[in-house]
Structure 1
Amino acid sequence: MTGSEDRPSFRLAYVPGVTPDKWARIWNERLPDVPLSLTQVPAAGAEGVLLDGDADAGLVRLPVDRTRLSAIPLYTETTVVVIPKDHLITAADEVTAEDLADEIVLHPLDDVLGWEERPPGRPALERPATTADAVELVAAGIGVLLMPLSLARLHHRKDLTYRTVTDAPQSGVALSWPEDAHTDRVEDFIGIVRGRTVNSTRGRQPDPAPAGRKPAAGKQQSGKQQTGKQPSGKQQSGKQQTGGARRGGGTPRKKSGSGGARGKPRRR
């Protein structure tokens, strides 16, 4: 990390379909003195926004260029097919790509599913410029459209519905930032999306105790566990005591004939 930021705010970009509201609310609670600036950007342009320095981090769709950007995958979305409410497909709770073989499947230029070849079904004569344009065509009865669930909700219309497609590609969402710009503020946001508590050390190791520091008063210094009460005003030494102090000051009796030498306590 490069340390504290010079910028007074944290700039977060996010792509359509991603909802940063929950994380933004937590940010504002924890860091009220650092304004969070939110900017929605097209999915295809998110990498450029980060690499050009126009945002500190972004909620983007995978994949990203991992040679220049760091990314933490957050979740993977269900893929659905958007259809008119009176379409035959609505009779099922979910469908497969094969079920769409006879349908005209629209493939907008800003598609985010990353098909290896092309979507299932029959292609339209032209590719719509945007997902929003494709949704309008679905409403006009010209075809059907596959997209992540969040985009289907974003482009919701009363005359359209959707069904899950079980074997279609899925879109992953990640938190991403430039490799050379992993700042403390980025780490703060990583902690929020990962659910760290406000008192978390954010993955850092705690500072070691200064050399030579003595244990705090009242702390036991030996490795053995103390099982009895320590006599008041006396420091425990030698073998640990297993009972209370003896009467008469707690001093063990001397052996008879020992010549004044301190003997061992009598066996109980």
Structure 2
Amino acid sequence: MSKADSDSTDFGYQRIPAAQKVERVGAVFRSVAERYDLMNDLMSAGLHRLWKRQTIGMARLRPGHAVLDLAAGTGDLTRLAMRELRGRGRMVMSDINEAMLSRGRDRLIDEGVLGVEYVLANVEELPFPDASFDRVIIGFGLRNVTDKARALQEMRRVLRPGGFVLVLEFSKLYLPGLTPVYDMYSFHVLPRMGQMIAGDSESYRYLAESIRMHPDQETLRDMMSGAGLEDCDYTNLSGGIVAVHRGYRY
């Protein structure tokens, strides 16, 4: 790889200087923050709620656990995790985007979800000591990270021995007959929906492109192993539209 290649990264289908990605992604999520929850429901026909419930079920949380929710957006996974903790333990909700984190905090407080810590942080440079958490969860956020390998290493670093990372992310369909329909929806319907609902087609075009550029199931599993996580595996959901990856620290 040339130095030029190593200093650039994907932004959807574009190649941009790596130093610009955080701000470019931040602009996308600042643009969509106000309609983020509505668009999630419309884009997935409500399936994202099922995927998140399944992820928290796989987390095997219990009262007393310390849990870190990264790229937490408006807090869906945090809210579900808090139910499992039952008022005992530690719940940290973190995002790099202040607009998303603020919206998530306001939403959870309005819903009566109290006792959550809110931390503005970059997944690649987590502001937590080693071995701080029993579970680290990231839902639909890893594909927006500039240096995924470094982010995965940071997730492992803050895990306690015996804990594990869960990565919920869009993935690669294993039912090839659905691909043309999925592509039509992603690149034609989704941007139009974004324009009508959120007044922003380009941000949703980026989101569709970022899904296609994200590593497939086997590649991400190997990346997690390369970051030092062990017994890495994954579970496909909805035909591989999304997958939940898991990796342990022993």
* TM range, smaller chain: under 0.3
- Higher relative contact order by CA 8 Å / sep ≥ 6: 1 or 2? 1
Which one has a bigger Cα radius of gyration? 1
